[in-house]
Structure 1
Amino acid sequence: MTPFIRAEAATILRPGSSSVVLENIDFQIAPQEIVTVLGPNGSGKSSLVRALLGHMPLASGRISRRADLRIGYVPQRVQIDTAIPMTVRRFLSLPRRISDQMAAQVLARTGVEGLQTRQLTQLSGGQFQRVLLARALLHDPNLLVLDEPTQGLDQPGIVAFYKLIEEVRGETGAAVLMVSHDLLVVMRASDRVICLNGHICCEGTPQHVSTAPAYRALFGAGGDGALALYQHRHDHDHDHSDDGCHGHHAHHHSQQG
């Protein structure tokens, strides 16, 4: 199958400077695949998403998109001006007007039916994320891109949101590209995981990545295989010549509390 998006040897610079954010990225996402991008703060996760969407120029390499690609995007942060009243129904009609029936259908699909007349500022965090997802689904995307979609949600809310994403993928056949910090849930909900830290350290199935040295160097792992929070100090150089999953990493962990 032709990938929806393919990046080949893509290098991205920090805007307005010559410093490299991401180097030599080879990436693709196929129809119906759920791919999650993980990495510490500043590792280039959002830059990768913006470049794939065409919002960030490449210093070198290329990105190609399939001709029929329709992207539904759930951004990391949406600023709501609390001084301007706006209902869910009005929000769904920005920037393109939609019918009442369409609004009702898409809200039902994401589990927040009946919220059309509710003010955006009155929504809980979980409701707002589901409204954002509903808006992203409006124009029948074949690729959903979600940048840190569960920020601010509690653990049950996070689990429920990822379950919803899997259901949407099952119903629509859309591929899903997510950026996330929610390690435990992501590892259950993804077909493929990509670990970033200025380059692709590691890539593969969740089972493969969770045992890779590069992944453990970034995130650590508990004795039972569950993921634990570790404080990590890089005291090694990345070896750009290997695939990152088997490279030598000298590292230091100290488990948090």
Structure 2
Amino acid sequence: MTEPLVTLDAVTVRFDGRTAVDRVTLSIRRGDILTIIGPNGAGKTTLIKALLGLQPPTAGTVTRQPGLVIGYVPQNLHMEATLPLSVRRFMALSGRPAEECAQALARTGIGHLADASIHHLSGGEKQRLLLARALARRPDLLVLDEPAQGVDINGQAALYHLIRELRDQLNCGVIMISHDLHLVMAATDKVICLNQHVCCSGYPADISHDPAFIETFGRSVAESVAVYHHHHNHRHNLHGDVIPTIPETSDSHGHRCSHEPH
């Protein structure tokens, strides 16, 4: 097993006598997709800031692999509306070479928007732009805070699919915060339910049955998440349009097979 990219050991963060994060322990390795869920005010963003080194813990330790490169994707892109700024120029502000910026835009499916104004982008396009900026750093670890914020339901599915593809291509780790319980359960490898402390953690298929998960989100949400997992016969592009995919079946050995038209 590879060494963790980041390890949090009993991390606690307090503000003015109030505990925002209480003794949280977790680790993430290359190839992992770890999603942190929890109600508003649960300490999710504070935990991410501690992981990034933006918020020193009150107690506990954060250990990062030497030389670790982190690509961070915030919730939203806030830019002054009167500031003329193209997608290409926004990427240039990252300080990365133009070729690497162009490659990152192409990887996220918005290379054709390089000369567009950032103020004219849709919600999904803006999130892909923020993701492209993070990718230009060639990160070992992607950290995403509500990556599907402001994106419609079809666009969310496409974005989470893209995140999995990028994880596979870059062999990086991914840690993200999300409220999109149904979609994220199908897009992640492990889930941590946070409410100041870790209420429960585990594989998506199992965590919805955990009493702590049910107590936090309610039985109706837990039941709907539990039955959500299924295979799709289509995918969506960044505009939410449906794109059919080649159906898969299993052969006699249990391997997935794609049936291409002849």
**What's the TM-score, normalizing by structure 2?**
0.83
Whole-angstrom distance in 2 between the partners of 1:69 and 1:221: 40
Instruction: Give the AA of the match of 1:110.
Output: T
Secondary structure, in 3 states, of the residue corresponding to 1:40? coil
| Residue matched to 2:12 | 11
Residue pair 1:219, 1:227 contacting (<8 A) in 2 also: no
**Matches of 1:149 and 1:195, distance apart in 2:** 17
1:127 pairs with 2:128: no
| Structure 1 gaps, min length 5 | 229-257
Q: What does 1:141-220 correspond to in 2, within 5 Å?
A: 141-220=139-218
1:34-45 paired onto structure 2 within 5 Å: 34-45=33-44
* Structure 1 counterpart of 2:87: 88
Counterpart Cα distance in 1 of 2:203 and 2:212: 14
Residues 92-149 of structure 1: CA deviation (Å, up to 9, x unaligned): 01141422x3232111100112111111001001111111101100021010000011
> Contact 1:35/1:192 (CA < 8 Å) preserved in 2?
yes
User: 1:223 and 1:54, CA in 2 relative to 1: closer, same or farther beyond 3 A?
Assistant: closer
Q: Distance in 2 between matches of 1:218 and 1:174?
A: 30
Which residue in the other structure is 2:110 paired with? 112
Provide the secondary structure at the position in 1 that maps to 2:97: coil
SS at structure 2 position matched to 1:46:
helix
Query: Could you tell me whether the CA contact under 8 Å between 1:109 and 1:134 is conserved in 2?
Result: yes
Q: Say which SS state the counterpart of residue 130 (structure 2) adopts.
A: helix
Q: Secondary structure at the match of 2:223?
A: coil
Once residues 105 and 95 of structure 1 are traced to their aligned partners in structure 2, the CA distance between those partners, rounded to angstroms, is 14
Identity %: 44
Give the CA RMSD over aligned residues.
1.5
In the alignment, is residue 98 of structure 1 matched against residue 109 of structure 2?
no
Q: State the Cα distance separating 1:186 from its structure 2 match.
A: 0.8
Query: Does the 8 Å contact 1:31/1:142 carry over to 2?
Result: yes
> What one-letter code is carried by the residue in structure 2 that aligns with 1:80?
M
Once the two structures are TM-superposed, the CA of residue 222 in structure 1 deviates from its matched residue by: 3.7
Alignment partner, residue 241 of structure 1: none
Q: Aligned-pair distance for 1:224?
A: 9.2
* Aligned amino acid, residue 9 of structure 1: A
- 7 and 224 in structure 1: CA distance in 2 versus 1, 3 angstrom threshold: closer
Q: Which amino acid aligns with 1:107?
A: L
Question: Is the Cα–Cα contact under 8 Å of residues 96 and 136 in structure 2 kept in the other structure?
Answer: no
Corresponding residue for residue 241 of structure 2: none
After superposition, the C-alpha distances for 1:12-48 in whole angstroms (9 at most, x for unaligned) are: 012xx12110111111111110000000000000000
Query: When you count helix as a share of all residues, which structure comes out higher?
Result: 2
Equivalent AA in structure 2 for residue 13 of structure 1: R
Query: SS at 1:42's partner residue?
Result: coil
What secondary structure sits across from 2:7 in the alignment? Answer: strand
Q: Does 1:27 align with 2:45?
A: no
Q: 1:224/1:72 Cα in 2 relative to 1: closer, same or farther (>3 Å)? A: closer
Give secondary structure in 2 for the equivalent of 1:10: strand
The letter of the residue matching 2:88 is: R
Structure 2 distance, partners of 1:130, 1:219, is 29
